[in-house]
Structure formats: C-alpha cells, structure tokens
Homo-oligomer: A and B are copies of this chain.
Amino acid sequence: MTSESILAARIDDFYPVIPAGGVGSRLWPMSRPERPKFLIDLLGTGSTLIQDTVARLEPLGAEVMIVTGARHADAVAEQVPQVPAGNVVAEPSPRDSMAAIALAAAIIEARHGEQIMGSFAADHVIPDGEAFRAVVVTAIQAARTGKVVTIGIEPTEPSSAFGYIQAGEPLADAPGAFAVEAFTEKPDPDTAAAMLAQGGYAWNAGMFVVSTSVLLGHLARLQPMLEAGVRAIAAAWDDPGRDDALAEYWPTLTKIAIDHAIAEPVAAAGGVAMVPGPFSWHDVGDFDSLATLLTPDADGVTRIGRVPAVSAVDSPGLTVIGGSKPLAVVGIADAVVVETDEAILITSRTAAQRVKDVDL
C-alpha cells in the first residue's frame, strides 16, 4: 500500500457532521429566519454555503450527516439531495451545539460502532477544499490517539470576532498536531493583538475531529444527563420509536456549547490536540466582511448574484447584491445595497454590523 491508499483506507471510517444553525442576522435580507445563512448563495457562485460544505467534505469518502432545525430540514434535504434522508437530523428545538454534535455521534456509533467523526459548521467559507481536506486527514490521524482534535485557523489579523486556541508542544504520537493549552473567549482588540504578537494562537473555528467513543466518554463524565439523552434518542433513531424518543429526551438536554461542555475542560486536562489549518477560512458575518472577499468589477462596483444595471456617481466602494431594476447610487461612499424578493437594505460597510437591528 502506498501512503495515499493507506490514508484513503483510514478515511472510510470517518463521518463528517455538519451542524447547520444560526440565522446570520447581520446578513439580512439575504438571510432571514426562514432562510438562514447556510441556505443562501452568499458569494453569488451559484451554490449555497451548505452545498459548498457538503461538497468540500464528500471527497473524504464518508457519509455526511447534517443536524439542523426542524423548520429547515426540508430545505436542507432539497439543497443536498445526495445526503440520505436518515442523515438529516432535525432538531425539534434549538439546544445548542453540544446536543446537536453529541446526538450525531451517538447515531453514528449506534449504527456503526466506534468511528471517527468531524464536526464542521455549515456556513463557513473555505475556498481551497484540497488544502482543507489535507488538514482534516491529519486531524483524523491525531484523533486516533484518543484526543479531541481541533483545527486551528492561522490568524490573518488580530480579530476580536473569534475565540482563540493556545497551542503547546508538538505531540510525538500525532504528526502535525500540537497540544492545546487552553481555549480563550473572543478577546478585546488589544488582547488579540498581544496574542498574535506572542504567537502560538489560532482561531477557533469550531472544527472538532474525535472518536465517537472518546467524545461520548467525555460527555458521560462531564454532562451525564446529556450523554444519556442522546444515547436514548440514537438507539431509537432508525426505528419507529424515533419521534417518541425525541419528544421524551430532546427537551431535557442541557443547552450548552461544545466549547464549554467538552473543549475547555478536556483541554485543561490535556486531552485536546490542535492541527494548524493554513488554508483560507472565512466566517462571513456581515456585508463588510462579505465585500472584502470579492473583487470589484472594472467600474469599481462589487456585485453578488444577478445584479441589474448600476450607475455609481461619486460613490466609491459600492457593493450591490441582487436587485430587480436599474440602480443609481449618488454621493454615498462604501454603500451596500441588497435587494431580495422580500426587501431592500441600504447600508454602508462601516455600519454593516448594525443590520441586525433592522426591525421589519
């Protein structure tokens, strides 16, 4: 066997899980409660973020599982018809990321026994799928040593929008992986700058690769009710008893993020490893960061999607997303104009954070 085929064989027991939640309220009206960020073609490429995420993970050769809110399960199934119906897990109500990921782990283990799983958000932008997958393969290898493995994104700026992972020494038994000293919450800008200057910090993109048994084992110790609940639901998942089990146990599950439930306490005990992710990664939260990702046309206007004729007069840095009729912008710098079937938004790149305050 060549090393390539060894890797391919190992990947057969890898199950990517995609938690698909979060509206993206600063991307209104592109995103809306009934059409959250992961369901939209954010970059105007012709595919939605969840379609891109599934396509990015499929070449790893595993069976993808998606966990999403019940109201979005049909739309998800429609957008990624290649994912089997039984692998679109519909949450009856939002119970935060630990319940979603643990239920997926429990279903995978109930079906297949212990496997390696990876959890990757449905709405992140990663242009280079090859580079991403190479890192995931390294993380899978590290996960086989019994660690909870996170992929740490190499920071490109001292952002205060993300939590950080503090890396320690390289791990002898896991090539390419490092010990994790600690997870830190989103820092203030000064702290973020100091962390970048010091080095050894990576962005926490919420990517975890871990054996289902290791994950559920930590959970049994740290959140036993939660572990028991997802095990009970998973046991009935592929049976007629699924709905009853969901109805009985789902509402009892503790609402907690995986970072607080597992990553932070396990890291403190030396059980978390980090694989650096040198690929380009974006968690596009608002129209300013979205515009940053794109290249303006020759007229200086950045366009996303099908945009009608635009005339920009004394309006440098204009971004136009969608629209149904010719548009003129006069004397407004860095304007962002979004038109969907339902509404029109006009803002500026500097004000884009406040879009979440729109009341319509």
Contact = CB atoms under 8 A, between A and B. Distances in A.
Interface in A343-360: 343-348, 350-352, 354-355, 357-360
Given A328-B360, A332-B332, A313 B354 contact: yes
Nearest to A287: B330
Contacts of A330: 345-348, 351-352, 354-355, 357-358
How many copies of the polypeptide does the oligomer hold? 2
Given A326-B344, A330-B346, A343-B328, A351 B314 contact: yes
Interface string A321-347: 001011111111001010101111111
B313 A358 contact: yes
Interface in A269-315: 309, 311, 313-314
A328 B344 CA distance: 6
Nearest to A335: B346
Contacts of A332: 332, 335, 346-348, 351
Contact of A354 (B314, B339, B345, B348): B314
Interface string A220-261: 000000000000000000000000000000000000000000
Contacts of A313: 354-355, 357-359
A331 B347 contact: yes
Given A332-B348, A335-B346, A344-B328, A360 B309 contact: yes
A327 B343 CA distance: 6
Tell which of A326, A342, A344, A359 has the most Cβ of chain B within 10 Å: A344
A326 B358 CA distance: 11
A331 B354 contact: yes
Contacts of A309: 360
Contacts of A311: 358-360
Interface of A: 28-29, 309, 311, 313-314, 323, 325-332, 335, 337, 339, 341-348, 350-352, 354-355, 357-360
